[in-house]
Amino acid sequence: MRIGIVTRHFPPYIRGGSHLSVYYIAKGLVEKGMKVHVFSSLPPTIEEGAYMDVDLDIEDYRIFNSKIPKNLLEQDEMSVKMAIQLRRKLKDLNMQFDVLHSYGMDTIPAIWFNRRYSKIIASSVNENWATCPFADHSYKGEICIECTLKKLSRCSFAKSSGNFIRKTFAIPYLYTSMRLKKRIVKRLDLLLPISNNIKNRFMQNGFNPSKMRVCYSMLDPKDYENLNNHFLHDEFNLNYSTKIILYAGRLAPYKGVEYLVRAIPSVVKEAENVTFMFIGHGGMKDSLVSLSEELKVEDKVIFGRFIDPKYMPHAYASSYCVVMPSTWPEPLGRVQLEALSSRTAVIATNVGGIPETIINEKTGLLIIPFSHEEISNAIMLLLNDEKRRNDMAKSGRNCALKEYAIQNQIENFVSAYEDVIKKLYNAG
């Protein structure tokens, strides 16, 4: 089977969990004997990421030169540009694929406009790109499932940049863009939501469940062997007795990082030898530093650099626990998967697809979002009950490595491809 994977970014450059997820899909398909071609962008010349070694038997085409979009209009322009660039490359290759697979929903127009080059077109669904222009948060800040023109109008005035006239003209553009995206996505042959939560949201927006197959993100168990339990201590010159409370991810409002910082005073007031570490990049860093100073806990906080993904399992393993305080509906949450696999206790908000990975209190602690009290209480619960923390870390690891191992999950992808190809072949 010949698979073409179309994605905006592909390693060696890594900036987020989605880049790792598409890498493991390609790796799993190669290990299954598939011929894999990857169409992506040249690595950007920015420092908000890391580079990893990639040794895959794939055909790697760096054909997209679109910049990272700063707004919704630029994102739509980028999608159209990628469709044109992919058309040129596929025409030159004169090659027919069994599957053109989009990863990252901004590349869906590229496969849709080039479906003549493939038996089927499929897309991993890792966000609500086709049903909400504002990252699933309504004008009130609440999680929004189904968008309407009235909601969109209110969100445009509350969240769009620019003056009154610009926001007014943005409404018909956003509404038309969203309807067109939904129409395109509904015409794909196969949708692969990365969680049941995403699948359910798409069903609520009128998408056909028979065209969807949940295919979770995957991990390579080999990455979580022989871990260094003092990696972060050595990197940041900390005493080995220090208990590190780790946040890893983008420093952005929708990640709920502010609530974790606000939880610090309550924890350090009762616990000794505790340090809060934030690993990642994003525009909130300066404001979070200022907030820690305002709360007089700056000596208990470390803002670290972006860590190479191959070392992140060691970073998780050297943490006492990992906190994921997201306030938006995470499609699944790769951070907690990696932390669980590293035998680290996880505290996460009960939003989006996260509860599908933290299935009970034996594998992790789920808390309500938008609450620093919930975060501090959960951290203290683990600090005061070492046995519970250790048992949770062990159970979480066993569950994650069993359910999300690359060998198990890739079978689901291949089966989904084959079922759709067979169905279309029989129908023809």
CATH number at residue 257: 3.40.50.2000
Residue 267 has what pLDDT? 97
Any domain includes 365: yes
**277 pairs with which residues across the strands?**
246, 302
Residues 254, 376, single domain; the answer is: yes
Residue 413 near residue 29 (C-beta atoms within 8 A): yes
CA distances from 148 to 133, 143, 161, 325 (A): 11, 14, 20, 28
Residues 288, 328, single domain; the answer is: yes
Distance, in Å, from the CA atom of 64 to the CA atom of 85, rounded to the nearest integer, reads 7
Residues 337, 367, single domain; the answer is: yes
Amino acid in the structure at residue 277: M
Q: What are phi and psi of 299, to 5 degrees?
A: -75, -10
Is the pLDDT at 139 greater than 60, yes or no?
A: no
Query: Distance between alpha carbon 25 and the CA centroid of its chain, in Å?
Result: 14
3-state secondary structure of 225: coil
Distance, in Å, from the CA atom of 372 to the CA atom of 352, rounded to the nearest integer, reads 19
Any domain includes 170: no
Any domain includes 159: no
**Lookup result for tokens 């996260």:** 354
Query: Distance between alpha carbon 58 and the CA centroid of its chain, in Å?
Result: 23
Any domain includes 153: no
**387 pairs with which residues across the strands?**
none
Distance, in Å, from the CA atom of 33 to the CA atom of 269, rounded to the nearest integer, reads 56
Any domain includes 288: yes
> Would you place residue 52 in the very low, low, confident or very high pLDDT band (cuts 50, 70, 90)?
confident
The domain total for the chain is: 2
Residues 64, 124, single domain; the answer is: yes
Distance, in Å, from the CA atom of 158 to the CA atom of 139, rounded to the nearest integer, reads 6
Residues 127, 266, single domain; the answer is: no
Asked which of 165-169, 216-220, 361-365, 409-413 is least confident by mean pLDDT, the reply is 165-169
Residues 200, 268, single domain; the answer is: no
Residues 189, 237, single domain; the answer is: no
Any domain includes 272: yes
Q: What are phi and psi of 269, to 5 degrees?
A: -70, -30
Is the pLDDT at 137 greater than 80, yes or no?
A: no
Residue 57 has what pLDDT? 92
pLDDT digits (tens, 9 = 90+) for 148-181: 788 888 877 777 667 778 778 888 888 888 888 8
Residues 311, 366, single domain; the answer is: yes
The pLDDT > 90 percentage for the chain reads 64
Residues 267, 202, single domain; the answer is: no
Any domain includes 103: yes
CA distances from 130 to 76, 105, 143 (A): 12, 8, 16
> Would you place residue 113 in the very low, low, confident or very high pLDDT band (cuts 50, 70, 90)?
very high
- Alpha-helical regions (H) of 94-195: 108-112, 149-159, 164-186
Residues 374, 225, single domain; the answer is: yes
Residues 185, 228, single domain; the answer is: no
Any domain includes 31: yes
Residue 158 near residue 174 (C-beta atoms within 8 A): no
Domain that holds residue 204: 2-133+181-218+405-427
Q: What are phi and psi of 188, to 5 degrees?
A: -70, 155
Residues 233, 101, single domain; the answer is: no
